[in-house]
Structure formats: C-alpha cells, structure tokens
Amino acid sequence: MEINTYPWWSDTQIELSRDVRAFVDERIGRSEELIWKRKYPLEFLKEAGERGWLGTIIPEEYGGKLSDYGYTGSCIVIEELARLGQISMQYVVTMCDARMILKFGSDKLKKELLPKMAAGEYLGSLTVTEPYVGNDAAAMETTGRIDGDEIVINGKKRYITSLGVSDFYMLLVKTSDDPELIKRHKHLSMVLIRAGTPGFTIERINELIGFDNIYNGYLDFNDVRVPKDQMIGEVGEGWKVLMGMANYERTLASANQLGWISEALRYALFHTKRRVQFKAPTIDLPTNQFKLADIIVRYKASRILTYHAAHLFDLGEDPAFDAAIAKYFNTEEGMKVFLEATQLMGGDGLTKFYPVESYVRNGKITQLAPTTSEIMKVVIYRFGLNALEPLLKAPRRKINEELGVPMTHGFYEGNASGNGEIREDTLLELLAENYRVNPGLYMAIEDLVEESGASLESISKTLEKLEDKGLAISYRGRKGDIKLARATFKGLQDAKPIDWYRYIPDWVDRDDLF
C-alpha cells in the first residue's frame, strides 16, 4: 500500500491521489510566481476541471465521476491543491455549491449547472456572512422579497471568497419577518445569483492577513431581480439547505489543512538537515527532533480524522460529529504545526522566500472560517454526547460491604420509568447513600427513579416535602422541573447515625485519632 493512501480507498482513488500529486508537483513553481505577482491562480482550477477533478461528488449522469472518486476523492484533490496556495478555497466553495444543488436544486438547475461545474467551466461562491452577521446565520438581514416569479434582493455580504471570478453565487437571504417562522428557522431562503445580474456589484476587495492572491470582499445587492426558479430548495428552506452542506464544507476545510501541514513538515525537514550550528545540523538537536515528531503525529492524526469523515459521506451519512472534530483538530493542531515549523527554520521561517510563513497567516484564517473553532466545539459537545452515549452510561456506585468502600456496581440505564410511590424516609436514605458513595455530588432525578422504582412525579413531590423540612436541596432546570437533589447536613443526620457514614482504614493507628 502506498504511504499516503488508506486500505478502504479504491484503485481509482489511489490513482487519483497519485495523479493530483504529480499535477501539483509540476506547478508549485508557477503557484509561487502567481503569489508573488498577486495574480489570481484560476488556471489551476480550470485545469483540474478539464481532468474531471471538480466532478468528484457529481453523478455520472451530470458529467461527474461520483462512482470513481466520491467524497473521499474531493478531499484527495483539495489536500494536494492546497499546496498551490489558497486556490483550494475556491475548490471548497464550488464543491459545497455542487452539494447544495445535488441535494436541493431543481432538475432544471442540475442539468444546466452540474455538467459545467464538473468540467470546471462554472465556478461557484458561497455568500452567507454579512457586515453585522457572522456565524449567527439565522440572523440574516439581506432580504429576498417574492415578487411574482422573481425574488428581489437587497443587502450586503462580506468576507466572500472568490468574488469576481466565480460564475454564480449561492446567497442566503431573509424571505420572512414572521416571528413564528423565525423561531423555526423557516424565514430564510437560498438563491443562486449569476455574475453580471443587474444591481449585483462588488463593493470592496479585502486586504487580509492571508489569501495573498485570492479575492475576498464585500458584495452589494440593490434591487437585484432573480428568477424564482433559481432558488435552491423551496421558500423558507434556506437554513435547511445551508445545514445540508455544512458538514461537507467542514470536511473539505479539514482536508485543506493537510496540504499545508505536509508542506510545513517538508520545509522544516529540508531546513534542519541543511542548517549547521555549533558544528552540527540542527536536526541533530533532540529538541528539534521532538518538534518534528510532534508535527508527524499531528499530520497522521489529522489525515485519519479527515478521511474517516469523508468515508462516512461515501457511505451515505452526513457526519456532523466527525466533520466537526476533523475541522477543529486540523485547524487548531495545524496552527501549532505552522508555528513549530517556523521555529525550526529560525529567521528563515519568517521570510516570504519560503512558504511556511504563509501557512501561519492562512492558518489563522482557517481557525475562523468556514466556522470558528469555538462553534466547532459547540457542535462536538452537542453531537458528541449523543454519539458516545452507549459508552457514557453513568456508573451505579454502591458501598462494598466487605471493604466498606464505594465501588462501581453496574450502570444506570437512564431510561427507567417507575410507577410506584416513595416515602420520605426511603428517599432520604437514598440521598444519604449517595452522599456515602459520592460525597460532594447531587443525585440525578433519573437515578432516583431507577434506584427506587417510584414514579418521577412521586419522587418530585416527596423531594419538595423534604425541602420544606430542610432535609433536602434540589436543583431545577429552566422549566422548573427537578434535575438533581441532595440531602442537607440535617437530612444526613436524620437519615442515618454518624457511624454509618464513617470509614477509617485498618492501616490508620487509632491512637493517633481523637
């Protein structure tokens, strides 16, 4: 097996990896020339399109190569294209547009656009962020007023990658002010706007920390009229369309980092093998070897996360959890790689005569877009707890009668539905037992249901009675329902005598105690 492939890759995917790498190797010099001249590197995507590499997720009926390459293939392409600079970001947005059209576009749009996209004749852009709205996409202010068979658009968008050179733009607009629709995220719509549409203009080109020869800027929409049949999905489905693409976008963004990480490793190794200080190459310093080892670990880990997520797409899944992990890990750990590679190269790492400093600058951008690392952690937390739920059952802990110490005694299932009643003294004893085995922790209401067999209603009412007597304390959720409970010190005294709680190991000399 080739070093840069995985056992689940098909022969065509392995061949694709080999071909794209050779393609990029031949053009690295040209890419550096374009960066120095600050000329948009559109030629690379046009050539990639001619080779069918923009059709990786597009079915054959629309001129693509889905069965040969798939979502894994799109990550293979972008991993290598990233070595030519930020042109890879145009690939990201174009492929994301292709996914939205595939999932939500009309048959007419699919037949018209997808063959040209697969061939690299049409390139797309994603137009979501606004001057006053970033990750809070549901708060869009750009409006799309339905006027017969047209949508009239007014507003502004910013931080839009590849504006100007793209042939069409996927635009998220607000089509309703209805509070109920807003509450259900049904107030947004996704519209395809073609370059050159009257009233659709470029307002500003940004000068960013990175994106040295990639256009990024502001767009203005002044009474732009777009045929209603250019809508992607139905009216009010914009949020659904955007979320249907988001996990793929994050997977592609994670693949984008791989090319930079491998190049950072390449240049760090190149430099340390040839830089002699104190009569020895700097690679002989153990501290530098440790830095290189860290880069290798991050490279290997980031690749497996990315291609695992891509493989799940090829299996028909939409892996929110895995895509978020890959995007978060690759951008955060990638930034560490770029900084370490710069450190390994010393002063040379700071010059623009080597590409590593550009990875530091562009790496900072990728921690913010598409979607910040902080948002990724929110997604990881929310989806992760559900995804890992079978592994995370709460331990059911009890006192081992022989040893007198708390031990795990099975697990709470978390789905008990008792139907009995519970007395105050019984409930107080359960809370006292919890103090004995988990001092400092409240007891979850669902754990009380499993332990007692009583109904949730009965336990809640009995806890309220214990609270009124100062024997228990409850923690309530936003809706006022009891979530957690514990005994007060008075409750512990009423439940059991002090000797029941006491534990003093045999090795303790009793004469030392008062």
Question: Which helix or strand (DSSP H or E) is residue 48 part of?
Answer: helix 42-50
Give the integer Cα–Cα distance in Å for 217 and 253: 19
| Section 37-51 average pLDDT | 96
Q: Quick one: pLDDT band at residue 331, thresholds 50, 70, 90?
A: very high
| pLDDT on residue 20 | 97
Mean pLDDT (whole number) for 341-348:
97
Give the model's pLDDT for residue 470: 97
For residue 125, give the nearest of 172, 185, 64 by alpha carbon: 172
In the predicted model, what is the mean pLDDT of the chain? 95
Over residues 463-480, the pLDDT tens digits come to 999 999 999 999 999 999
The average pLDDT across 323-350 equals 97
229 DSSP 8-state letter:
G
pLDDT at 2 over 70: no
Q: What kind of fold does domain 393-501 have according to CATH?
A: Arc Repressor Mutant, subunit A (1.10.10)
For residues 400-414, give the mean pLDDT.
Answer: 90
Of residues 334 and 371, more confidence is placed in 334
How confident is residue 228, by pLDDT bands cut at 50, 70 and 90?
very high
* Answer CATH for 1-122 from 3.40.50.620, 3.20.20.10, 1.10.238.10, 1.10.540.10: 1.10.540.10
Structure token digits, residue 483: 């979530």
Asked whether the beta carbons of 104 and 241 are under 8 A apart, the reply is yes
Three-class SS state of 204: strand
The pLDDT tens digits of the residues spanning 254-310 come to 999 999 999 999 999 999 999 999 999 999 999 999 999 999 999 999 999 999 999
- What one-letter code names the amino acid at 480? G
pLDDT in tens, 260-271: 999 999 999 999
pTM over 0.95: no
Q: What is the CATH number of domain 238-388?
A: 1.20.140.10
Domain ranges of the chain: 1-122, 124-236, 238-388, 393-501
Judged against a pLDDT cut of 80, whether residue 1 lies above it is answered with: no
Whether residue 351 is predicted with pLDDT greater than 70 in this model: the reply is yes
Q: For 91-102, how does the pLDDT look when each residue is reduced to its tens digit (9 = 90+)?
A: 999 999 999 999
Other beta carbons within 10 angstroms of residue 110's beta carbon come to: 17
Report, at the CATH architecture level, how domain 124-236 is classified. Beta Barrel (2.40)
pLDDT in tens, 57-81: 999 999 999 999 999 999 999 999 9
Per-residue pLDDT tens for 367-385? Answer: 998 889 999 999 999 999 9
